[in-house]
Amino acid sequence: MKKSRIILLALLVIFALMQFYRIDKSRPETDPQKDLIAITNPPAEIAAIFKNSCYDCHSYETKYPWYTNIAPVSISIAGHIRNGRNNVNYSIWGDYDANKQRHKLEEIIEVVLEEKTMPPKGYSRMHSEAPLTEEQRQQFADWVKSQLN
């Protein structure tokens, strides 16, 4: 019994100490004219899908809800955002050369329409505006395909 109390106390101390670690929520200065939506000027419903389902992890326009202040959740979310931005960052779309843009558009079709792994289920559960219907997925993919021509 005493050993379990020590373990519990140690875990509580570790949890408390983790709260002193804060993730980086800064937003780098970028040229708004290099943003994917500014460059491509999609229809409003497509722009809304990008903003509601993609931009939190794939741009510098991340909205950080209250639970991003609680470790270890904050650390996990920061990792997801870092990975998302490393994969594609819509805030710096204009910095990508034409081949990279084309490749990223092809990947969007793959993960949104074919694999249906984006937006991730965990993200969609926490953000009611993020989940996509089959019709929205198809409409989104059709617009992305039109950008490949």
pLDDT digits (tens, 9 = 90+) for 53-64: 999 999 999 999
Measured at the CA of 36, the angle between CA 125 and CA 143, to 5 degrees, comes to: 75
Instruction: Please state the rounded mean pLDDT for residues 69-89.
Output: 95
Average pLDDT, the chain: 94
Q: Please, are residues 91 and 34 in contact by the beta-carbon 8 Å criterion?
A: yes
Domain hosting 93: range is 2-148
How many separate domains does the chain show? Answer: 1
CA distance 54 to 90: 9
Which comes out higher in pLDDT, residue 133 or 3? Answer: 133
Pick from 19-28, 78-87, 105-114: least confident:
19-28
CA distance 131 to 133: 7
